Amino acid sequence: MSKIIDKIRARATRPGTLAVLFLGLLVGAIFFASLGSFMVYANSEKFCATSCHEMESTVAVEFKGTIHDRNRSGVRAACNDCHVPHEYIPNYLAKLGIFSDLWGHYITHSIDTKEKFEAKRYELAKRVWVYMKDNDSRECRHCHTTAKMDPEKQSEKAQKRHEKGRVEGLTCIDCHFAISHSEPDGPGPQELNAAAKAAVEAAKPAAEPAKK
C-alpha cells in the first residue's frame, strides 16, 4: 500500500501535473454547465414549439388558447410540463428521445405536412396516452394533487366523475385527454384499455372442467 501511495506522490509532484488537473476540472465544469444549459433550453416552450416546422405548424397552434395556455388563474403548463418527467435524470434520459424523433419524423419527413401529420395523429396520440397510462399520469400529478382537491369547489358532475374514476382505478389521462390538442379519430384511452384487458383475457387458457 505504501508503494502505491509513493507512486501517486511521485506523479503528483511532476511538472505540469497541476496544470493538467486544473485543465481537466475546467473542461468538466464547462461540459456540465453546457449540459445544464442545454437541458434548460430543451425544456423550454420555445425549443419544443418552434425548433421544428412539424410542431410549430400543428400542435403548437392547437395549444394556444386552451385551458393549459390561458385560464383564470394565469398558471400555464408548457410542453415539457406534460410530456417529460420533471426529475433531472429521467428528464435527461427522456431528452435522448430527440434523436429518435429526428430520425423518425424530421429526417424521414413523415409528418412534415399537415396532411401527413393528420394521417399519423391517432398513432402519435395513442403513444402519449399509453405512456401516461403506464406511469399513472405522473406529469399531470406534478401539478394536480388529488389529495389536495377540494370537492366543494368542484361541480356536482365533476365530483361524481372523480369518485367514479377512483372506484374504477382510472388515471387522469383516461378522461382528460385532448384538452390541449385536437382529438384524433379513433378509440380513446378508456376504450384502448378495455380492449387490451379483453385481449389478455382472451389469451388466457380455458379453465379445465372440474374432475368428478
pLDDT digits (tens, 9 = 90+) for 173-206: 999 999 999 999 999 998 888 887 888 778 877 6
Q: What is the pLDDT of residue 206?
A: 65
pLDDT, mean over the chain = 85
pLDDT(208) > 70: no
Q: Are 181 and 63 in contact (CB under 8 A)?
A: yes
Residues 6+ apart with CB under 8 A from 139: 81, 82, 83, 84, 85, 86, 132
Give the pLDDT confidence of 40-77 residue by residue, as tens digits. Answer: 888 888 888 887 777 888 899 999 999 999 999 899 99
187, with CB counted inside 10 A (0-12, 13-18, 19+), is middle
pTM over 0.85: no
Amino acid letter for position 182: S
pLDDT in tens, 96-126: 777 777 776 777 888 888 899 999 999 999 9
Q: What is the pLDDT of residue 113?
A: 87
Placement of cell 378509440 in the chain: 187
